[in-house]
Amino acid sequence: MTREMGANTTLDTEKIDYADAGRRIKAILVGSMGNLIEWYDVYAYSAFALYFAGSFFPKGDPLAQQLSAAIVFAAAFIVRPLGGLLFGWIADRYGRRHSLIMSVLLMCFGSLLIAMSPTYQEIGIGATIILVVARLLQGVSQGGEYGASATYLSEMSHPKHRGFYSGVWYTMLIGGQLCAIAILLLLQKVFLTQEELVAWGWRIPFFIGAAVSVLTIFMRRDMHETEHFKQSAKVTKELGSFKTFMTHWRELLLVVGITIGGTSAFYTYTTYMQKFLKLSVGLTDDQTTSVVLGSLIFAIILQPLYGAISDRIGRKSMLVFFGVAGVLLTYPLLSTLQATKSPFVAFLLICAAWAIVTGYTSVSVIVKAELFPTSVRALGVGVPYALTVSIFGGTVDSIALAFKQMGHEEWFYWYATGCILVSLLVYLRLKDTLSHTRMEQHV
C-alpha cells in the first residue's frame, strides 16, 4: 500500500513538473511576443526601405535616399533610452505585465502611422515628418520592451535553465526578422511586381505589424505577474526607485560594456546585411532575400543550443568566445563576403558569422538580468542597453553607408572589430553570472 502511494506521489510530482514547465514556456513565449513584433518592425523598416525610400524623400540618387532612410532609422534609437526609463520604471513599480501591455500598444500605433502615411509626392516634407514621428514612437516602445521583457523572461525561467530560455527569447527576437524577410520574399516572388512594391506594396508589412500587435495585447491581458516581483513588493518600498537604481552604477556600466560589441555585430548581420548584399556584394533582390532568410533560420536554431550550453559551462565562456572570434574574424568575413559573387558562399559566410555572434546573443539577456536585484531589474537592464544600442546599434547602417559613400567601405569592418574588442576587455574581467547571480535579491 505504501509502495503504491509512493509511486503515485512520484507520478504526481512529475505531472506538476511538466505542468510547471509548460506554464513557464507559455508565459515566456507570450512575454517575448513583443520582441518578435519589435524586431519585425525594425527589420520591416530596414528591408523595405529599399522600396519605400522614394516615397518619403525627394527623388535623386538611390544611395542618398537609402542613407536618408538609414538616418531616420538611427534617429529612432536616440529615444530608446527614454523608453527604457519610462517602461522600465513602470515594470519595476507597477509590474512587468502592465509595462509589456503598454509598450506593445505604442508599437501598434507606430506601425499604423507608417502604413497609412501619404507620400512625399503627395504632401512634400510632411511625409518625411510622419515617418520620423512614427519611428520615434516605435523607438520609445522598443526601448521599453527590451528591459521589461528580459526581466519577465529571467524571473519566469527555471533557475537551472535560464540560459536555455534566454536562447528561446532571442529566437523570438530573430523570428521577428525572419517573419519580415519571409513576407518580403513572398511579396517579391509570388504576389507583387517590383513596380507594385515600390508604389504601394511596402505598406503591407506595416499593416501586418499593427495587426499582430493587437493580437499580442489580447494575449498579454492574461499574463501572470512574476513571483519575484510579488515578493519584492512585499518586502521593500524601493520598487523602481531611481535612487536605488543609481546605486548600481557599476552594473549599469557593465551592461554598456557587455552590449557594445554584441549590438554592433548583431545589427551588422541583420539590418545592414540586406543592403550590404545588394549594394556591395551585388546580389539580386531575390538572391539577397533568400540568403538573409536562410541565415536567419540558421541563427534561430543556434540560440537555444548555445543558451543551454551556457547553463553548463557559464555565461562568461560564451561571451569570451564571441569576443575573441569576433576580433579575429570580423574583418576577414566581411571582406571575403564583399568579394564573392556566389549567393551560396555568401550564405555560408553569414552562417559562420552567426556561429560567432550567437555566443553573445544567446546569453546577453540573462547576463544583464542576473546583474540586478528585483526592485530595479527592468530599469537596470533596459536603460543602459537602450543607450548603448542607440549609439552602437542603430547607427550601424548609417556608418557603413557613409563609409561606402566615401569610398572606404573597409573602414566599417575595422569599426565593427573595434567595438567587439572593447566588449572583449569587459568580458575578460566579468564575473560569471551563472554562479554570481542577484536574481534572488530584492534590493
Residue 1 is assigned to a structural domain of this protein: no
Residue 88 is assigned to a structural domain of this protein: yes
- Whether 226 and 437 have beta carbons less than 8 Å apart is answered as no
Nearest to 330 by CA among 319, 320, 322, 318: 322
Distance between CA 91 and CA 108 in Å, rounded? 19
**DSSP secondary structure string for all residues of 364-417:** HHHHHHTTS-GGGHHHHHHHHHHHHHHHHTTTHHHHHHHHHHHT-THHHHHHHH
Distance between CA 443 and CA 436 in Å, rounded? 16
Domain of 229, in residue numbers: 22-429
Mean per-residue pLDDT pooled into runs of 10, the chain (443 residues): 38 45 69 79 80 76 72 81 88 83 86 86 83 88 84 82 86 84 83 82 89 84 75 70 79 93 92 85 84 90 93 93 96 93 93 96 90 86 89 85 87 95 95 76 67
Structure confidence at residue 424 (pLDDT): 97
Residue 417 is assigned to a structural domain of this protein: yes
Beta-carbon contacts of residue 167 (< 8 Å; ≥ 6 apart): 303, 304, 305, 306, 307, 308, 362, 363
Helix (H, G, I), strand (E, B) or coil at 158: coil
Structure confidence at residue 359 (pLDDT): 95
Residue 36 is assigned to a structural domain of this protein: yes
Residue 87 is assigned to a structural domain of this protein: yes
- Using the 8-state DSSP alphabet, how is residue 440 labeled? T
Model confidence, pTM: 0.82
Structure confidence at residue 61 (pLDDT): 67
Residue 196 is assigned to a structural domain of this protein: yes
Distance between CA 136 and CA 130 in Å, rounded? 10
- Whether 310 and 323 have beta carbons less than 8 Å apart is answered as no
Residue 9 is assigned to a structural domain of this protein: no
How far is the CA of 248 from the CAs of 35, 245, 251, 381, in angstroms?
A: 26, 6, 5, 11
Long-range contact list for 12-16, CB < 8 A, 24+ apart? none
- Say how many domains are in the chain: 1
- Whether 399 and 392 have beta carbons less than 8 Å apart is answered as no
Residue 118 is assigned to a structural domain of this protein: yes
